[in-house]
Chains A and B, each alone.
Chain A
Amino acid sequence: MSARAAAAVALRVLSQLRRDPRTVALLVGVPSVLIVLLHELFAGREEVFQHVGGPLLGLFPFVSMFVVTSVTMLRERTTGTLERLMTMPLAKLDLLTGYGAAFAAMAAIQVSLVSVIAFVLLDLHSDGPVLAVVVLAIGNAVLGMALGLFASAFASTEFQAVQFMPAIVLPQMLLCGLFVARSEMADWLRVLSALLPLTYAYDALARAIADEFDRRFALDVCVVLGSTLLALLLGAVTLRRRTD
């Protein structure tokens, strides 16, 4: 484990993003446009926007970082740079930490800008501190990154990697409780949603916005952290020094 190597990886990922301003613009611009769209869509029903806007804001980084990471890591696997790194004095944990730090930084920029639009310009309201929403959103970015890293091992082309987004991310979005409250779901859907990490990420966001930092909130945060660690561990297993 070396902080120097992890920092080198993080800086490299960030300079790759910097060389791709269109991706950065999309990362920040798309959620901004979507939140404005959502606001306009529920123009006459302010309570719906108030209910959905905050948690959605915190879930955007999960989706974006999942896609960006799975494609970046897939490139690393297919262009041979991963193999080269595996012959170098770089611990797998440093590689994962570097990726995590870079995408968490990107998520911080993304969420901060979208938060300004939502909370300042669109009058989105939060009983709890907005900073809590931002911090949870960064955590969700790292969860998305960890899952994306793991998913990239099962893709051999960028087309496949991108298709993992609807396959892994969309069902979690549908079942997390954002669109239909979990208490109104059929039993089997509720059981299924209890198995998905995004359910806890959503619940934590909803509680932070309602200023309910209770025991259930703590449990939510623990489950999200645990899932992130598990996904990172699974991701690390797919990073093999020796391959066929």
Chain B
Amino acid sequence: MEAGAGIVIDSLRVTRNGTPVFEGLSLAVEPGIVTGLLGPNGGGKSTLMRSIVGVQRIAGGTITVLGRPAGSPPLRRRVAYVTQAPSIYGDLTVRENLRFFSRILGAPAGRIEASLDAVDLLEVSERVVNRLSGGQRARVSLATALLGEPELLVLDEPTVGLDPLLRRDLWSTFRVLAEEGRTVLVSSHVMDEAERCDRLLLLREGRLLASGEPGELLSRTGAVDLDSAFLSLIEEEQS
């Protein structure tokens, strides 16, 4: 991997509420492809993503994001983060939310329309967010991440609760973003989404259980689908 691209994590240690989450986690995320962060809830996916965007206090190790230490000020324009629960203002309209965040990012005005279009929200753009469905709110949150044309997108379960058609569209949006050379890291706990990724990181109980292309993981385990591949990897580790 060329220097200054993607994410490199070395011996990361994170402790939350006195309990260790990671005790020396190392991994890499490449630019230009969609990387899926998979694993059961509570396995450390959100904590890893928070560490990458620099809002998680870490106990040790290094995280290099786009060639710089995670959380350093120049990265704040280059990295976009979407939390699992939509972090937007419920009492503002969709457009007011995007206008606010685009002002903070200094994004050109035209980006608001483009972002709304990408998540298919143009029709409800004048509605107050609190009156929208859960799926629509998640899309507003996602649209915010597309405003600044970031080089790295960190998306925490962005497709939960969305209808299959929209999920398919969003995954093709992620693909387009990756093909433009961006680094795209998407978490999910649904295995059928794993097939849409170019590369997978399987995280369980704070450890990297496996990493590789979906096909590679299937052939390595001899499993018929990724769900059973994940299961046999867990069993392999436990024996």
Contacts and interface: CB of A to CB of B under 8 A. Distances in A.
Interface residues of B, number: 33
Contacts of A5: 103-104
Given A85-B104, A88-B76, A88-B101, A242 B57 contact: yes
B103 A19 contact: no
B16 interface: yes
B91 to A, nearest CB: 5
A235 B53 CA distance: 23
Interface in A228-244: 241-244
Interface stretch (B82-90, B168-176, B198-206, B212-220): B82-90
Contacts of A83: 55, 83, 87
Contacts of A243: 55-57
A89 B106 contact: yes
B76 A12 contact: no
Contacts of B108: none
A90 interface: yes
A174 B135 CA distance: 49
Contacts, number: 81
Contacts of B105: 88-89
Contacts of A183: none
Contacts of A19: 91-92, 128
Contact of B96 (A15, A20, A90): A15
Contacts of A12: 89, 92, 96, 100
B85 A80 contact: yes
Contact of A80 (B77, B87, B100, B101): B87
A80 B86 CA distance: 8
28 contacts: A4-B103, A4-B106, A5-B103, A5-B104, A8-B100, A8-B104, A11-B100, A11-B103, A12-B89, A15-B92, A16-B92, A19-B91, A19-B92, A79-B87, A81-B87, A81-B88, A84-B83, A84-B101, A84-B144, A87-B76, A87-B79, A87-B81, A88-B105, A89-B77, A242-B54, A242-B56, A243-B57, A244-B57
Given A19-B128, A84-B144, A87-B55, 4 more contacts: A242-B54, A242-B55, A244-B17, A244-B57
Interface of B: 16-17, 53-58, 71, 73, 76-77, 79-81, 83, 85-92, 96, 100-101, 103-106, 128, 144
Interface of A: 4-5, 7-9, 11-12, 15-16, 19-20, 79-81, 83-90, 241-244
